[in-house]
């Protein structure tokens, strides 16, 4: 009876020892196969949260093709000539001589530094430009006029031609009627202005007091 008890106890103890050894033994590390090399860990791929190389968090890098197109456009803009605005044409002026009308000068004045007695005169535009006496920016609009009486030229003076497109420059005063004239003493009394309206243009002659 004692032999059977001792034998059972030994069998039980061996079974418990084998079970404990199986539970506590660490699993064997997996060894690489013969001839295989150790692979480095793969690099992490770009995600929506991690921008790829050449990009910033705020703005992606511009495609190279677009950058080249922009450079080509910039080069073209530097080499192409710029369009120039058209220049304004000189105002039209009468050609040759022209009878401007008749004026009455109530008192003696000076025309071109010479005495011009009071009287009624025919004013005639000549083709002579007032060079180098022209005070305006366009020589064609600064000409000489003659004061004619009895078929004789009594005096001459420079006239300023104001084209119809620029009438607003002198129309602060009441202009003479079409094909009419106006003679008036200017403020201060030093000048007498002869103002003629012919063909839609104004003709201004300034005479000094005698």
Q: Per residue in 38-47, pLDDT tens?
A: 554 555 454 4
Q: pLDDT grade, residue 134 (50/70/90)? A: very low
How far apart CA 142 and CA 15 sit, in angstroms, is: 136
Report pLDDT digits (tens) over 146-181: 999 999 999 999 999 998 888 777 667 788 999 999
Q: Where are the alpha helices (DSSP H) in the chain?
A: 2-24, 64-79
How far apart CA 102 and CA 90 sit, in angstroms, is: 28
pLDDT of 187 reads 86
Contact 75, 123 (CB under 8 A): no
> Facing residues of 51 across strands?
none
How far apart CA 144 and CA 180 sit, in angstroms, is: 19
Verdict on whether the full-model pTM lies above 0.75: no
């Amino acid at each position: 009876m004692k032999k059977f008890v001792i034998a059972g106890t030994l069998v039980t103890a061996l079974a418990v020892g084998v079970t404990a050894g199986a539970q506590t033994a660490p699993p064997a590390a997996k060894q690489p196969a013969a001839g295989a090399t150790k692979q480095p860990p793969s690099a992490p791929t770009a995600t929506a949260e991690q921008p790829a190389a050449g990009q910033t968090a705020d703005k992606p890098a511009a495609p190279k093709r677009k950058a080249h197109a922009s450079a080509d456009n910039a080069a073209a803009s530097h080499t192409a000539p710029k369009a120039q605005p058209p220049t304004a044409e000189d105002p039209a002026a009468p050609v040759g001589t022209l009878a401007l009308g008749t004026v009455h000068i109530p008192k003696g004045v000076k025309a071109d530094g010479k005495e011009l007695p009071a009287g009624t005169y025919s004013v005639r535009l000549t083709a002579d430009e007032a060079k180098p006496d022209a005070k305006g920016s366009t020589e064609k609009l600064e000409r000489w006029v003659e004061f004619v009486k009895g078929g004789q030229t009594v005096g001459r003076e420079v006239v300023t031609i104001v084209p119809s497109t620029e009438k607003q420059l002198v129309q602060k005063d009441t202009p003479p009627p079409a094909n009419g004239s106006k003679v008036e003493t200017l403020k201060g009394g030093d000048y007498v202005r002869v103002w003629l309206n012919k063909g839609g243009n104004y003709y201004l002659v300034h005479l000094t007091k005698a």
